[in-house]
Every structure is written in C-alpha cells, then in structure tokens.
Amino acid sequence: MPTFRVHYRKDGESRQLDLEHPQASLAPHEAALAVLEQLRADAENSLALPPADAQAAAILRQAEVHGLTDIRVEPLAS
C-alpha cells in the first residue's frame, strides 16, 4: 500500500502525518479528512467530520474551521 506524508498547519503550527492509502494518489481533501479523523481519535472528542461523500471544497472548508491549513501531500518511496 502506498505511503504518503501529509504536511499541514494546525493553528499555524507546522505538522506532518504519514498515511497509508490504498490508491496510488492521495488528494489534498482526502488527506484533510484523514488528518481530521486522526485529530478526532487523538482528542477523543466529538470533532464534527464532514460526510464521506462530501465534495472536496466542503472537506477543505471544514478542515480550515478546525485550524488545518496549507495541506500538501508528498508520496514516499515504498
């Protein structure tokens, strides 16, 4: 399974997260959803997640509401 490094800012602080993804590419909105899911799991709170079938722009807007910005995806060598 391909691995990707997601670079992003959370409340202005630079962060990164390595993710495995079943497809050969990972779009920024897919990465944003994965980061939101990780934050929700880490915080064990009721972080509102967009529905899985939400459009890319809606997911990115929701991520921004939670302080996630400047999301970019870097494929890592397998």
- DSSP code string of 21-57: -SSS---HHHHHHHHHHHHHHHHTS-PPPPPTT--HH
Query: Which pTM was predicted?
Result: 0.85
Average pLDDT over the chain reads: 89
Domain spans, the chain: 3-76
pLDDT digits (tens, 9 = 90+) for 14-28: 999 999 999 999 999
